[in-house]
């Protein structure tokens, strides 16, 4: 079976993407993506298929998966079905490993991290002796600001690179799978939203742009990104709103209308759904951090 080319929904100015998953089951098709991935299992157990190998996973395990490495987490679906908890919970960090390597290229002390990134093409499991300290850093990552995420990521990679014996999941690097589907369609959608988020964007308009019906496009986008198109559009607009709140002397109303919203109520609701803060709370938080 040909692995699916997956599009991580990183925002245009987002070097490090952090996803918190609370699901009944992990994303099922075997897939690959351009981003390096670090995943901490918070709940669930099952089997990780990576490259040409399989390995068990359980709560507390941490895995590093390199660029374009086919993989899938398949949790045991009969576990914990009746206790009200989600069977598949994890925190995953995604980043462009080529960008990070260029950043570290002029830092001789970062040699071990660069080597770790190179080795990640085989898939790596973090040793259990190192899990606790890495977990502490990963669980606070979602609350960090963009630049703080980069610093914390380098700290995590540095800790893992200090391990004496890395545990490889696959005996050899897997050649990059052939992209058999039209990934240019979703790239076109991402690019359009990034460049036009401050304008009115409708589902019919976007679907027509890639020659699909709205229903077919919604299925296509969710399969490729594990996110609905409407949620992606909200996250892009909110990301630009808190950039304006942080950098520019704009009030909440001006930020709202500058990011494609036509009423404050929706803007406040969406902003809080992404950041867990109102725009005013976020600005006060930023001001206190800077003071």
pLDDT in tens, 216-240: 999 999 888 888 999 999 999 998 8
Rounded Cα distance, 67 and 80, in Å: 32
3-state secondary structure of 40: strand
What is the structure's pLDDT at 181?
A: 53
Cα separation, 94 vs 101, whole angstroms: 14
Average pLDDT, the chain: 87
Half-sphere exposure of 183 (CA within 13 A, CB side): 14
Reported CATH class of domain 183-290:
mainly alpha
User: What pTM value is reported for the model?
Assistant: 0.78
pLDDT cut 90: percent of the chain above it: 49
Q: Do residues 71 and 124 make contact, with C-beta atoms less than 8 angstroms apart?
A: no
Distance CA 68, CA 66 (A): 6
- All CATH 2.60.120.280 domain ranges in the chain, comma separated: 4-168
Least confident stretch, 87-91, 179-183, 232-236, 245-249: 179-183
Position 290 confidence tier, pLDDT thresholds 50, 70, 90: low
Residues of the chain with CATH 1.10.10.60: 183-290
Calculate mean pLDDT across residues 31-47. Answer: 93
Whole-number pLDDT of residue 117: 93
What pLDDT is attached to residue 76?
80
Token pair listed for 264: 């404050």
Residue 13 or 5, more confident? 5
Counting DSSP H helices and E strands in the chain, the numbers are 11, 11
Mean pLDDT of 156-161: 94
Q: Do 116 and 163 contact (CB within 8 A), yes or no?
A: no
Give the class (CATH, top level) of 4-168: mainly beta
pLDDT at 151: 94
Taking residues 144-159, report their average pLDDT. Answer: 92
């Amino acid at each position: 079976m040909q692995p699916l080319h997956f599009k991580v929904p990183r925002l245009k100015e987002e070097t490090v993407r952090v996803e918190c998953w609370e699901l009944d089951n992990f994303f099922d098709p075997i897939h690959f993506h351009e981003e390096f991935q670090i995943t901490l299992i918070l709940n669930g157990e099952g089997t990780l298929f990576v490259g040409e190998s399989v390995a068990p996973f359980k709560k507390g395990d941490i895995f590093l998966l390199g660029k374009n490495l086919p993989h899938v987490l398949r949790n045991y679906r009969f576990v914990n079905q009746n206790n009200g908890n989600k069977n598949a919970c994890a925190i995953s960090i995604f980043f462009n490993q080529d960008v990070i390597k260029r950043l570290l290229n002029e830092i001789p002390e970062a040699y071990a991290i660069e080597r770790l990134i190179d080795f990640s093409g085989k898939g790596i499991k973090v040793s259990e002796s190192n899990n606790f300290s890495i977990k502490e850093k990963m669980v606070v990552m979602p609350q960090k600001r963009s630049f703080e995420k980069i610093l914390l990521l380098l700290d995590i990679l540095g800790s893992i690179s200090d391990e004496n014996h890395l545990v490889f999941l696959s005996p050899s690097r897997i050649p990059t799978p052939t992209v058999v589907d039209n990934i240019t369609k979703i790239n076109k959608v991402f690019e359009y939203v990034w460049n036009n988020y401050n304008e009115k964007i409708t589902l019919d308009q976007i679907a027509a742009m890639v020659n699909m019906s709205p229903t077919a496009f919604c299925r296509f986008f969710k399969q490729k990104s594990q996110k609905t198109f409407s949620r992606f559009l909200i996250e892009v607009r909110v990301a630009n709103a808190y950039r304006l709140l942080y950098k520019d002397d704009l009030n909440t109303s001006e930020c709202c209308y500058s990011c494609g919203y036509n009423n404050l109520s929706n803007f406040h609701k969406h902003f809080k759904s992404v950041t867990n803060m109102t725009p005013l709370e976020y600005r006060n938080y930023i001001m206190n951090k800077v003071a």
